[in-house]
A = this chain, B = another copy of it.
Amino acid sequence: MGIITTTKSEDILKELTQHRCMSSVPFGGRYRMIDFTLSNMVNSGIHNIGVITSHKYRSLMDHLGAGKEWGLDRKSEGLMILPSASPSIFKKNIRFDLKDLYENYEYLEKSRQKYLLLTGNNMICNINYKDALQFHLKNNAQVTVFYKEEICHEKTINELGFWDVEADGRVTGFHLTPSVGEKNKVSLEMIIMERELLMDMIQVAHAMGNWDLADILAANLNDLRIYAYQFKGYLAKINSVESYYKCNMELLDPDVWYELFFKNGPIYTKIKDGPPTKYADDAKTAKVLVGTGCKIMGNVENSILFRGVTIGRGASVKNSIIMQKTEIEENVVLENVILDKEVRIRKGTILKGGQDSPIVIAKKSVI
């Protein structure tokens, strides 16, 4: 079974999470962030999945429905939307809030799977969890965490944390500041363990009053057989508007595009039945990722267009992310902007954001 939970305060995405939870933030021209984790689980044979969500659940509900697109609309098991213990607004950045799981203890109890995969909701990758489970079994591990090697250039605290891992995969330490200029093993906020072990840990957390699972693991490195599984593929970590922007733009590299969307299986999302995108006679596009149902009559460069976007004649869009059903009228000039859903930019408007600090325009705005 799998559980997708919130590990971050949702305020970090600002306008993008004003009316939706992190899991339902649009990503990559067609998807919501949760589509990646959910598809990875389904592609790895996990069909009993609980999604813990904050109070801004409506858009996520709309998106997931009964889970049909993911093959999760089942009578027994399938997809379950679970309440969070506290509104995200009060939530600090906590690496796996066991309080949320305590709130849903009955769901854990009723499930019948032996192993459980717990993940956060702000890492985007295409990963095969079956391999990871094999690794877990082979090592006779009690807990398997996931990491990716990254060279860190700054000695700032990274709230994800880093694992110290021996050659055989055994975890021996955990720390929050990286070694500069070296490869560090950054935590992916994904954990495999037996369902019953997690239930025990929840009881411990309840007794101790410390709900951070990463803390509990770090404190028990000697008593638990904790192993770390290395993920070598492309990883997008979304923890700010800037990283959200950067990671979307990385999809404009065809290798990243191919890896993220095809490597271990397809990424499922809600089907909209839009027509193909239509390029007009005077369309000019270079380095773009485009969803279905768009009408492109202007210039688009180095940008991502979600489904149903219209780009008017003479308009010029550069380094931007344009979400679903947004309408860019004639002769508009956009550079370094993120436009949320159903925005309308009127004729001749010019909007330019900073190179690493895009302007974000909220859903349904008319400018």
Q: Which residues of A contact B (CB under 8 A)?
A: 58, 61, 65-66, 68, 73, 75, 81, 83, 271, 273
- Which B residues are in CB contact (< 8 Å) with A66? 65-66, 68, 73
Q: Which residue of the partner chain B has the closest CB to A75?
A: B273
* Bound complex: CA A66 to CA B61 (Å): 10
* Bound complex: CA A212 to CA B65 (Å): 32
Q: With A75-B273, A273-B75 as known contacts, state yes or no: A83 contacts B58, CB within 8 Å.
A: yes
* Bound complex: CA A61 to CA B58 (Å): 12
Q: Which residue of the partner chain B has the closest CB to A67?
A: B66
Identify whether the interface residues of A are mostly helix, strand, loop, or mixed. loop
- Which B residues are in CB contact (< 8 Å) with A68? 66, 73
- CB A54 to nearest CB in B, in angstroms, measures 14
A to B CB contacts below 8 Å, 12 in the list: A58-B83, A61-B61, A61-B81, A65-B66, A65-B73, A66-B66, A66-B68, A66-B73, A68-B73, A73-B73, A75-B271, A75-B273
Q: Which residue of the partner chain B has the closest CB to A64?
A: B66
* Bound complex: CA A273 to CA B68 (Å): 21
Q: Which residue of the partner chain B has the closest CB to A83?
A: B58
- CB A29 to nearest CB in B, in angstroms, measures 21
Max count, chain B CB within 10 A of own CB: residue among A61, A65, A83, A271: A65
Q: Which residue of the partner chain B has the closest CB to A272?
A: B75
- Which B residues are in CB contact (< 8 Å) with A58? 83
- Which B residues are in CB contact (< 8 Å) with A81? 61
Beyond the given pairs A61-B61, A61-B81, A66-B68, 4 more chain A to chain B contacts, judged by CB atoms under 8 angstroms and listed by A's residue number, are A65-B66, A65-B73, A73-B73, A75-B273
- CB A39 to nearest CB in B, in angstroms, measures 19
* Bound complex: CA A73 to CA B69 (Å): 12
- Which B residues are in CB contact (< 8 Å) with A73? 65-66, 68, 73
- CB A41 to nearest CB in B, in angstroms, measures 20
- CB A66 to nearest CB in B, in angstroms, measures 4
Q: Which residue of the partner chain B has the closest CB to A55?
A: B55
- CB A101 to nearest CB in B, in angstroms, measures 17
* Bound complex: CA A310 to CA B337 (Å): 62
- CB A21 to nearest CB in B, in angstroms, measures 15
* Bound complex: CA A208 to CA B75 (Å): 47
- Which B residues are in CB contact (< 8 Å) with A271? 75
- CB A366 to nearest CB in B, in angstroms, measures 15
Max count, chain B CB within 10 A of own CB: residue among A61, A66, A271, A273: A66
* Bound complex: CA A273 to CA B75 (Å): 9
